[in-house]
Amino acid sequence: MKVILLTLVILASLLIIASGIWVGVALIRALSLPRRPEPPARARGDDGQA
Amino acid sequence: MDTLLSVGAVIVYVIVLTFVALRARVAREYEEFSVAKRILPLALVFGSITATYVGPGFSIGFVDKGFRSGFLFWIIGLAYAIQNISVGLLVAPRLRALKGCYTLGDAMGQKYGPRCQILAGIISVGLCTLFSAVMINAGKLVLHEMLGLPPWVSVSLLAVVAASYTTFGGLRASVTTDVFHFVLHALFLPPVLLYVLLFRFEGGAAVFFQQAVSATTEGFQSTSPLQVVSLVTLFLLGETLIPPYANLTLASKTVAVSRGSFILAGLFSALWFMVMIALGIVARTMVPPDVAQDHVLMSLVKGMMPNVGYALLLVTLVSIVLSSLNSLLNAGAVVFTQDIIRRFADLPDRVALRAGRCSTILVAGVAATAAMFVPSVIEGLLFCYSIWAPAILPALVIGLWMRQPRPWAGMLSMIVGTLVAVSFKLPFFSRTEVPPILPALACSLLAYALGHWAQGIYRRSKK
């Protein structure tokens, strides 16, 4: 029981670190994507006469 | 030397944060500003949800709870995990499936009509501003501890930094910086626990178990059953689908992403609480028992880690505050533009975008001013939780599941829920031990049923 509790705590820490790495990789991918070109004013529903 | 390290850590943090915020780029359209063009993938939505809910309460607060009451608060915190998983299974997919929604108010408007949308908007903006004030107040304490800054400087600094990138980048900037902050929390706090357990903690598994049992026993002895019930209710309902989470649901790439991100966020919260509680338990053998409230984590890291570890901890704490704050500012601004301004004026895209940016600055300004008057972080959070659930949840959840919800029901439920929750904070009622959320929720549900029934009779009589 004593060892199980400590093991669970260590496992939880490792899972959080793993999820941090997963999300970090996704962030790097998202930031390195090139931006799509700006749509023309009409396609945005904006007639430029605000 | 310590101050030099802290300043150095802050400078590096600000440089990386600026880089991430700039890479998120300026929003060019209102849809990009408000819902990031609905293209956010699972990892980013999950990271943003978790970074938003891991505020000062779920980090510093939970370590303190672990120190004083062991795993009691982990058991209570499981209600939060259940809440997130339930939202993922039952509510988020239905909300995401609605067409043309930018906010929770839009969903209310589609179900109950424009008046309900405006009312939901007013409640949401009020709560986002209050939540932001509470976050700025928490950040003020951290910055004072870290750099010894006077309160008004800390408050202005936090509001300006969070508002600057949220104003220009909108939801996308908020999400990317949230995710950066999530990575920071996930890669710093669990390693602190592992380091202390492996290199500084004496006695191994047996002492850890003994400390956990004695702290948890003390926790159960010092907490009444009514307090446990009230805390479980607050964790279960208080933060359910508040505007930042609702906006993330609507910004998810697909219905499956919205479902999956909430389920993962729920599972993650159970792990996160366990690690925070374990840090508190470990601290029992290393930190004096009379340590000031909410100072256990800082004392532990200051005493057990190298100086640079303490500097990193303080930066992580600032990032914890900022990640919650920017989401609240963006959500408040989008709600104000979409549910209030756009209900009264038909704005073209570019003007709506400008209105969203101005609203971000407005919400940040009001929240910063209010932050100077917030008495305590926990009290402020509890007040916000008590109002949100009764005011919005019954109408929202029933509306998403019912085929033809009736406007009177939604309106009556929101008004009654808000009034009862606020009135239970008055001195007459606050003397009772009953948490406001329970009677307010019951009254809100009752009012919903009454409104539904009354409108049914009215419609039949008109026919």
pLDDT of residue B10 exceeding 90? no
Closest Cα in chain A, distance from residue B236 (Å): 22
What is the rounded distance in angstroms from the CA atom of residue B412 to the CA atom of residue B445? Answer: 10
Closest Cα in chain A, distance from residue B44 (Å): 7
Give the tokens for residue B117: 């949308």
pLDDT of residue B231 exceeding 80? yes
Interval B183-217: pLDDT, tens: 998 999 999 999 999 888 888 889 999 999 999 99
Interval A18-32: pLDDT, tens: 999 999 999 999 888
Q: What are the Cα distances from residue B297, in Å, to B231, B279, B463?
A: 22, 8, 66
What is the rounded distance in angstroms from the CA atom of residue B91 to the CA atom of residue A16? Answer: 26
Nearest chain A residue to B27 by CA distance is: A38
Q: Look up the ipTM and state it.
A: 0.87
Q: What are the Cα distances from residue B185, in Å, to A19, B8, B377?
A: 11, 19, 20
pLDDT of residue B37 exceeding 80? yes
Percent of chain B with pLDDT over 70: 97
pLDDT reported for residue B217: 95
What is the rounded distance in angstroms from the CA atom of residue B443 to the CA atom of residue B436? Answer: 11
Best of A31, A32, A35 to substitute, by most chain B Cβ atoms within 10 angstroms, is: A31
pLDDT of residue B354 exceeding 80? yes
For the domain made up of B2-374, give the CATH fold: Sodium/glucose cotransporter (1.20.1730)
Task: Say if the Cβ atoms of B275 and A10 lie within 8 Å.
Answer: no
Interval B209-224: pLDDT, tens: 999 999 999 999 998 8
Query: What is the pLDDT averaged over residues B285-307?
Result: 86
Interval B388-437: pLDDT, tens: 899 999 999 999 999 889 999 999 999 999 999 888 877 666 666 677 88
Question: With contacts defined as CB-CB under 8 Å, which chain A residues touch B208?
Answer: 2, 5-6, 9
Spell out the SS3 assignment of chain B.
CHHHHHHHHHHHHHHHHHHHHHHHCCCCCHHHHHHHHHCECHHHHHHHHHHHHCCHHHHHHHHHHHHHHCCHHHHHHHHHHHHHHHHHHHHHHHHHHCCCCCCHHHHHHHHHCHHHHHHHHHHHHHHHHHHHHHHHHHHHHHHHHHHCCCHHHHHHHHHHHHHHHHHHHHHHHHHHHHHHHHHHHHHHHHHHHHHHHHHHCCCHHHHHHHHHHHHHHHHHHHCCHHHHHHHHHHHHHCCCCCHHHHHHHHHECCHHHHHHHHHHHHHHHHHHHHHHHHHHHHHCCCCCCCCCCCCHHHHHHHHHCCHHHHHHHHHHHHHHHHHHHHHHHHHHHHHHHHHHHHHHCCCCHHHHHHHHHHHHHHHHHHHHHHHCCCCCHHHHHHHHHHHHHHHHHHHHHHHHHCCCCCHHHHHHHHHHHHHHHHHCCCHHHHCCCCCCHHHHHHHHHHHHHHHHHHHHHHHHHHC
Residue stretches of chain A with pLDDT short of 50: 45-50
Q: Is A50 on the interface with B (CB under 8 A)?
A: yes
Residues 6+ apart with CB under 8 A from B443: B390, B416, B417, B420
Confidence of residue B290 (pLDDT cuts 50, 70, 90): confident
Confidence of residue B147 (pLDDT cuts 50, 70, 90): confident
pLDDT reported for residue B144: 82
pLDDT reported for residue A50: 36
Closest Cα in chain B, distance from residue A19 (Å): 8
Nearest chain A residue to B196 by CA distance is: A10
pLDDT reported for residue B452: 95
pLDDT of residue B333 exceeding 80? yes
CB B20 within 8 A of CB B177: yes
Best of B274, B282, B346, B357 to substitute, by most chain A Cβ atoms within 10 angstroms, is: B274
pLDDT reported for residue B410: 95
pLDDT of residue B367 exceeding 90? yes
Q: Could you give the angle at the alpha carbon of B358 between the alpha carbons of B357 and B362, nearest 5°?
A: 120
Least confident of B21-35, B85-99, B263-277: B21-35
In this structure, chain A runs to a length of 50
Query: What is the pLDDT averaged over residues B67-87?
Result: 95
Closest Cα in chain B, distance from residue A42 (Å): 11
Q: What's chain B's Rg over C-alpha atoms? A: 22
CB B374 within 8 A of CB B355: no
Question: With contacts defined as CB-CB under 8 Å, which chain B residues touch A28?
Answer: none
pLDDT of residue B2 exceeding 80? no
Average pLDDT, chain B: 89
Query: What is the pLDDT averaged over residues B53-76?
Result: 91
CB B455 within 8 A of CB B407: yes
Residue from B386, B396, B334 nearest B362 by CA: B334
Phi, then psi, of B376 in degrees rounded to 5: -150, 155
Q: Where in chain B is the domain with CATH 1.20.1730.10?
A: 2-374
